[in-house]
Amino acid sequence: MTPLELRATSGLAAIYAVRMAGLFMILPVFMLYADVLPSATPLLMGLALGIYGLTQAMLQIPFGMLSDRVGRKPLIALGLALFIAGSVIAAMAESVYGIILGRALQGAGAVAAAVLALTADLIAEERRTRALAAIGLTIGLTFTASMVLGPVVDRWFGLAGIFWLTALLGLLALLLLFTWVPQPARSRPHPDMVPVPGGLRGVLHDPELLRLNAGIFILHLTLAANFLVLPLTLVNRLGLDPAQHYLVYLPVLLLGFGLMIPAVIRAERQRALKPALIGAITVLIAVQAMLPFSGHWVTLGLALVLFFAAFNLLEAALPSLVAKTAPVASKGTAMGVFSSCQFLGIFAGGMLGGAVLTHGGSAAVFGLGLAAALLWFWAAVTMAPPSHLANRAYAFPDAWKQASAQLNARLAELAGVAEVRVSASEAAVYLKVDPGRFDETALRDLFRRGTPGGGRTSSRV
């Protein structure tokens, strides 16, 4: 990447990291305050934990579309301001109701789609995949760091201190947005990255995408519900002081991450994403069945390692499957709906988990995750084998701007090309290709030597 693109990628990844930290840093410690927080009940604690996901899911697609009209940076700044305000309200809250309000405002700053759109504005099509990979890696590392830092910050500064730290990180993100992230020359719609009007109907009626959306919903429902119980499990079953919980989370997260990486690489190389998906769901089912009976540190540690290994694999595999499944013209919309389902899962896990905890206890909460995972297993087994096509985007020469239909036809003739979308406004083409058959040299040759008004150039490989 160019120096400008490296600045854009690092700054936007940091903005993503701030929001992830705000979501996950309280996850391992919040339920430890259930007995001391005024007006707290299991249901209200679950609502406070999960309402972030509800407001995020409701607003992220509208925010992404609105950024095409009002500009990326102003909208991201507004979202970060809401995030900071919510963090301050939660930090100053004197009861669970104040935390619920603060968490709702945190989620209302739903800038994820706008950040992706700004990424697309600043990074050339040919290098955009690298930028997204860097942002994705940052998200994964932030999740791990947040789970470890949460108990450490709580030990020194309490629950309010976590929210104050989140507010300070939000201010840092605002500073990075205006001093480090470059200003794009212009903003354009990016259908391969963010939702576009008119694309929702097809995405919501695609049965394979619905299966994947249900999967990410269940995965995050299970995560949120489990953490209504796990912090107290470490205290009551293992007698572990809350300040030492990071000693559990750090090794199990690292081991889970280490188990996930070779599994994902192998699944991609061997074109075995569906078996890997079903295998990870099976592990999730086994873990949910183990957790109610894990009273020793060995069994509980094993269950948590397996949980995070399965969670990380599924978190990595599901977006890849959505990108492979969605039509090239609707990929951004499909990813937006998928992300909304992820956050709705967090909300549902908090609410349902809190209700189940009220009436059935901790074992019933683990049972909720087990039942959801069993339903997901059935949906995954019945899904069609995913395609092994890859998404590619390229800028094309200005000479083709007035001949987009002819360019579309020429590109469709290239070997290995399964789908084509030509965007004259962006001077870009979006392709789904078979990596084993597609020859990028032929495409470059078409761009370089093919002319809209000239003779037909043979471009089949």
User: In terms of Cα–Cα distance, which of 58, 57, 55, 44 is closest to 83?
Assistant: 55
* C-beta separation of 421 from 328 below 8 A: yes
Give pLDDT, residue 453: 55
**What residues contact residue 80 under an 8 Å CB cut-off, 6+ apart?**
15, 18, 109, 111, 170, 173, 174, 177
Show the low-confidence residues of the chain (pLDDT under 50): 455-461
Q: Which of 211, 221, 212, 227 is nearest to 372 (CA)?
A: 221
Query: 10 Å Cβ neighbour count for 324?
Result: 18
Per residue in 295-337, pLDDT (tens digit) is 788 899 999 999 999 999 999 889 888 988 888 878 888 988 9
In DSSP notation, 214-261 reads: HHHHHHHHHHHHHTTTHHHHHHHTT---GGGTHHHHHHHHHHHHHHHH
Residue 29: per-residue pLDDT:
93
User: Token digits for 303?
Assistant: 């269950």
Q: What confidence score (pLDDT) does residue 452 get?
A: 58
Distances (CA, A) of 225 to 37, 39, 124, 246, 343: 19, 20, 40, 19, 13
Which amino acid makes up residue 281?
Answer: I
Confidence (pLDDT) at 54: 95
Nearest 5°: CA angle at 245, between 15 and 285? 85
pLDDT in tens, 189-230: 777 777 777 777 888 889 999 999 999 999 999 999 999 999
User: Taking the alpha carbons of 257, 260, 264, 265 in that order, is the dihedral positive or negative?
Assistant: positive
327 Cα distance to chain centroid: 20
For residue 293, the 8-state DSSP code is: G
pLDDT the model gives residue 459: 35
- CB contact at 8 A, 418 and 402: no
Going through 219-280 in order, the beta strands assigned E by DSSP cover none
Helix, strand and coil content of the chain, in percent to the nearest 5, comes to: 75, 5, 20
Tokens of 114: 């706008």
User: What are phi and psi for residue 196, nearest 5 degrees?
Assistant: -125, 150
Q: Residue 30 corresponds to which tokens in the numbers above?
A: 């919040």
Q: What is the pLDDT of residue 280?
A: 95
Structural domains of the chain, with CATH:
1-194 (1.20.1250.20), 195-388 (1.20.1250.20), 390-449 (3.30.70)
Q: What single letter denotes the amino acid at residue 439? A: D
Pairing assessment for the beta strands 417-423 and 428-433 based on DSSP bridges: antiparallel
**How far apart are alpha carbons 327 and 210 in whole angstroms?**
14
Tokens of 107: 């989620």
Half-sphere exposure of 13 (CA within 13 A, CB side): 19
Q: DSSP 3-state assignment of 391?
A: strand
**284-313 as b/e: b if 16+ CB within 10 A:** bbbbbbbbbebeeeeebbbbbbbbbbbbbb
Q: Give the 3-state secondary structure of residue 447.
A: helix
